[in-house]
A = this chain, B = another copy of it.
Amino acid sequence: MPDAVRAMVLEAFGAPLGERVFGLPEPGPGSLLVRVLAAGVCGSDLHIVSGRDPRVPLPLIPGHEIVGEVLAAAPGRIDVFGKPLAAGELVAFSRGVTCGRCVYCAVRQTPALCPQRKTYGINMSCADAPYLNGGYAEVVYVRPESEVFPLPSDLDPVGLVAATCSGATAAHAVELAGVKLGDVVVVIGPGPLGQYAAALARETGAREVVVIGTGRNPTSLRLAEAGGFVPVDLSQTEPADRLALVRGLSEGRGADVVLDCAGTTESLAEALALVGPGGVVALPGVAAPMASVGIDPYDLSRRQIRLQGVWVSEPRHLWQALQVASAMRYPLDAMVTHVLPLTAANEALRLLRDRQAVKVVLTPD
């Protein structure tokens, strides 16, 4: 049991993270100390460290994608299946901490919308007890409210960690979009969110999944192809080609569901062009404020299109993503192009910012 815990801390927006050492706390009632084995560097971490996300308190240990092993557990602390958690167990947990008892949590059963929702590594400062509130650290303190999911010990934490944010959000999008057996699905944006969206749409019954990307990082589309999806390179095709492709796969109708995992003005326009009558366009990829987008209400009505916002995810989505990642039917682990030690977190952020990486994961030094 270590008595000091290293963490990478954001002290000022735009400045590099600095290494700090914290004391190892005792887990309070219902709580858990988890040794971080893999901390994913999420695209939204770039917004967080740069100050574009207005909710972030300083100082902060970033990192909301975490797989780790139990270091210590309060007596009687159980996982979601009711089993007491023991030291050494491999676990993941909900990145969002919700109140569980408000109208959104308990009445509408949409905890993603809980007004008290807090997220490890995003809006829980390391100035506040129990301090170890983010994943860019050797240890994270997991609160009593956090749903904890056990994982088979033979799984690779690095390959799995993207399930805890991108995977779960993708599962939420697939659920809200209502993907059904036999659907033709288009995923725009082949990053971690899109890779999971494609896999989860396929698992939910999609017969064809088209994955559209810019081709700037060729690994992304190669992974999509290896997963059994139809890769489309934006830089090699015209809009009319893509429409023809999607219609060709769908007996002329257009996509039943488009999952816009890019979240740009252009991707939304593309999504509305590719969706067919009665279809759904879901927006899991919008993570920061953006410009207004013009839509055609008559087209939405005439073709009975649904445009569906998607916000973060809920515990069942994490479980679904972990299951699909664990089953290894898709090369989801192969999207990790870079594994760096925790103390190289600044370099990890740079790799992502410069689009050299598909996914970067931090591991203990």
Residues from 77 to 124 in A contacting B, C-beta threshold 8 Å: 78, 80-82, 94, 100-113, 115-116
Is B108 touching A278 in the complex (CB atoms < 8 A)?
A: yes
Is B80 touching A277 in the complex (CB atoms < 8 A)?
A: no
Is B115 touching A82 in the complex (CB atoms < 8 A)?
A: yes
Is A110 touching B323 in the complex (CB atoms < 8 A)?
A: no
Residues from 271 to 317 in A contacting B, C-beta threshold 8 Å: 277-278, 283-284, 286-290, 292-311, 314-316
Q: Is A251 an interface residue (CB 8 A)?
A: yes
Query: Within the assembled complex, what's the spacing in Å between the Cα atoms of A203 and B228?
Result: 14
A309 contacts which chain B residues (CB < 8 A)?
297, 299-306
A360 contacts which chain B residues (CB < 8 A)?
none
Is B205 touching A205 in the complex (CB atoms < 8 A)?
A: yes
A 203-230 binary contact with B (CB < 8 Å = 1; else 0)? 1110100000000000000000000000
Q: Is A141 an interface residue (CB 8 A)?
A: no
A174 contacts which chain B residues (CB < 8 A)?
181
Q: Is A171 an interface residue (CB 8 A)?
A: yes
Q: Is A268 an interface residue (CB 8 A)?
A: yes
Query: Within the assembled complex, what's the spacing in Å between the Cα atoms of A111 and B303?
Result: 12
Q: Is A341 an interface residue (CB 8 A)?
A: no
Quote the shortest CB–CB distance from A69 to chain B (angstroms). Answer: 19
A316 contacts which chain B residues (CB < 8 A)?
106-109, 182
Is B171 touching A200 in the complex (CB atoms < 8 A)?
A: no
Is B306 touching A307 in the complex (CB atoms < 8 A)?
A: yes
Partner of A301, one of B175, B207, B296, B311: B311
A296 contacts which chain B residues (CB < 8 A)?
290, 292-293
Is B298 touching A295 in the complex (CB atoms < 8 A)?
A: no
Partner of A320, one of B181, B204, B308: B181
Given A182-B323, A204-B204, A293-B297, the answer on whether A304 and B113 have CB atoms closer than 8 Å is yes
Query: Within the assembled complex, what's the spacing in Å between the Cα atoms of A94 and B100?
Result: 13
Query: Within the assembled complex, what's the spacing in Å between the Cα atoms of A307 and B297?
Result: 10
Query: Within the assembled complex, what's the spacing in Å between the Cα atoms of A302 and B324?
Result: 26
Query: Within the assembled complex, what's the spacing in Å between the Cα atoms of A187 and B311?
Result: 26
Quote the shortest CB–CB distance from A28 to chain B (angstroms). Answer: 13
A 154-191 binary contact with B (CB < 8 Å = 1; else 0)? 00000000000000000100111000011000000000
Is B289 touching A298 in the complex (CB atoms < 8 A)?
A: yes
Q: Is A252 an interface residue (CB 8 A)?
A: yes
A327 contacts which chain B residues (CB < 8 A)?
207
Q: Is A330 an interface residue (CB 8 A)?
A: no
Partner of A307, one of B104, B111, B205, B307: B307
Q: Is A242 an interface residue (CB 8 A)?
A: no
Q: Is A65 an interface residue (CB 8 A)?
A: no
Query: Within the assembled complex, what's the spacing in Å between the Cα atoms of A112 and B305?
Result: 13
Q: List 14 additional contacts besides A100-B106, A294-B295, A297-B309; criterion CB under 8 Å.
A: A80-B101, A82-B102, A82-B116, A100-B105, A103-B319, A106-B147, A107-B316, A110-B277, A181-B204, A182-B319, A207-B327, A263-B301, A268-B297, A292-B295
Q: Can you list 23 pairs linking A and B with CB atoms under 8 Å apart?
A: A80-B107, A100-B100, A101-B146, A103-B253, A106-B316, A110-B278, A113-B278, A171-B181, A176-B306, A207-B323, A263-B301, A283-B301, A286-B297, A286-B298, A286-B302, A289-B298, A292-B296, A294-B294, A300-B309, A301-B309, A301-B311, A303-B309, A306-B307
5 A-B pairs closest in CB distance? A300-B309, A292-B294, A286-B301, A100-B100, A81-B251
